[in-house]
Amino acid sequence: MAYASRSGRARTSASSPQAFAVCDRCGIWYNHVDLRWQFDWRGATMQNIRLLVCNFCYDTPQSQLRAIVLPADPVPIVNPRVEPYMWDETDRRQVSGYNTTAPFIGIPVPQGDVRVTSANSQPTSNIRVTQQTGEGSGGKNQKPGTDPNAVTYRNVVNAVDNGAGLIRLTLNTTNGIITNQRVIVQDIVGVTNANGNWAVTVLNTNQIDLQGSTFSGVYSSGGYVINNPSLPYQFDEVPKTGPL
């Protein structure tokens, strides 16, 4: 028992002696039964690295050394219903002519942005302008308002003084316009006083006077006339829109 004082942390018992052992890491004496093997991750399993260490020196196995094991793929089901991403990302806009109408105001909603009508009934590359006020089926209008082929839309050819100070407009046709009817005039260049909302007097098949107007300037170009009923509800001018 001469070395009993040098037994470190080992227990010495005369009635139940146990072997001493040295910790492979700290070098302190312990009873052999109090030491344990050091394990660490090697791939997907734990491996004994053959070090006997005390509880203080034992390292918890590091998970970053562990191999990542992916679980098996889920078992496929019969008749799956997945999101149709390709269909969702496809532009489904259609050409005009389907007579879709807005549910609250009843105005036709044109579809698509490419015209499908032309003089020879062949598709063209002309881009159709969105029509806030609706457009006839297969229309070719590039301006706001209704189809230029409809009687409610007329191009202005000239604007002059009627001799009494009123503005007299020459149109491609006055068909469908009656005296005292209110119309919208827009985009006239030169005689800008003509642009606005007017009651008209029909003179013949091509001329109208704007009641209450005052002529000034010199007509340059442009202009069109549409009937008030072609405007959306509570609009007092034609909405200006661009290509889709």
pLDDT for 17-53, tens place per residue? 999 999 999 999 999 999 999 999 988 889 999 999 9
Q: What percent of the chain has pLDDT over 90?
A: 36
Is the separation of the CB atoms in 152 and 175 below 8 Å?
Answer: no
As a whole number, mean pLDDT of residues 184-199 equals 91
How many Cα atoms within 13 Å fall on the side-chain side of residue 164?
A: 7
> Which pTM does this prediction carry?
0.38
184 CB-near residues (< 8 Å, 6+ apart): 196, 197, 225, 226, 227, 228, 231, 237, 238
Of 56-60, 168-172, 240-244, minimum mean pLDDT range: 240-244
Strand positions, DSSP E, 167-229: 167-171, 182-186, 196-202, 207-210, 224-227
Q: Which domains does the chain have, with CATH numbers?
A: 4-65 (no CATH), 153-230 (2.40.30.180)
pLDDT at 69: 84
Alpha carbon distance 113, 104 (integer Å): 23
User: Higher pLDDT residue, 61 or 236?
Assistant: 61
Least confident of 7-21, 60-74, 125-139, 187-201: 125-139
Question: How many angstroms separate the CA atoms of 186 and 199, rounded?
Answer: 14
Instruction: Check pLDDT > 60 for residue 212.
Output: yes
List, for residues 141-154, the tens digit of each pLDDT value.
445 444 444 446 78
